Amino acid sequence: MQRLEYPYKPISIYSISKADAIVVLGGVLKKIEIEKNISYEFSEGDRFFSSIELINKNKANKLIYMGSQLPWTENWKPEGHILKDKAISLGVLKDRILVTEKVKNTFEESVAVTKLIPNNSSIILVTSAYHMDRSKHLFDKQGFKVTPFPVDFRSSNLNITIFSFLPNLNAMGMTSKFIKENIGRLYYKFFL
């Protein structure tokens, strides 16, 4: 995960210059449905809470959430609308929040944002650190001036112990993310 997150490190909000918009990539929520009772929980909550802090510190005038909706989630409300409602409940003014059309992946997210703001706009891009390299590449290609704001770091500088060599499910999950992200990087590098 350190290789994927490189060269990104946690950044102080105070070090970020003002931009035209804060763009928060999808994958923030997971849907919980038990016997027709539906709720949504954060799976990548740092993206959402960082966006609230950025907009509250007036780092941009607009906050853009993704209308993320995968093909097998057609009966779900698009993620961006849920996040918009939550942001409003936390005091963000409704007219400062935009939601893209329905999107299924990072490339579609980058294109959808061009339909909301000019593609030469400056943006603060908020996503997981391991996903930032690919995301920044796609938004740069659309003509945006991108300031990365990486969150949800997976790697750390923990000391290696005997437990580091024992199998665990968290490590398997990170390995899966590592493989998927590298495949995405290769695909976008060669085909976009």
Task: For tokens 């931009």, name the residue.
Answer: 19
Which two structure tokens, joined as six digits, stand for 110?
């980058």
Q: Yes or no: say if 70 and 104 are a contact pair by the CB < 8 Å rule.
A: yes
pLDDT, tens digit (0-9, with 9 covering 90-100), for 99-153: 999 999 999 999 999 999 998 999 999 999 988 999 999 999 999 999 999 998 8
Query: Residue 184 pLDDT > 80, yes or no?
Result: no
What is the predicted pLDDT for the residue at 174?
66
What residues does each domain of the chain span?
A: 2-157
Which two structure tokens, joined as six digits, stand for 48?
């959402």
Q: In what order do the strands lie in the sheet with 21-24?
A: 97-103, 62-68, 21-24, 122-128, 145-151
Q: Which residues contact 101 (CB under 8 A, 6 or more apart)?
A: 67, 112, 115
What is the predicted pLDDT for the residue at 140?
96
CATH topology of domain 2-157: Rossmann fold (3.40.50)
What is the predicted pLDDT for the residue at 17?
97
Q: Kindly give the pairing relationship between strand 29-34 and strand 62-68.
A: unpaired
Distance, CA of 1 to CA of 159 (rounded, Å): 15
pLDDT, tens digit (0-9, with 9 covering 90-100), for 13-40: 999 999 999 999 998 887 777 887 777 8
What is the predicted pLDDT for the residue at 85?
95
Q: Kindly give the pairing relationship between strand 37-42 and strand 29-34.
A: antiparallel
Query: Residue 157 pLDDT > 70, yes or no?
Result: no
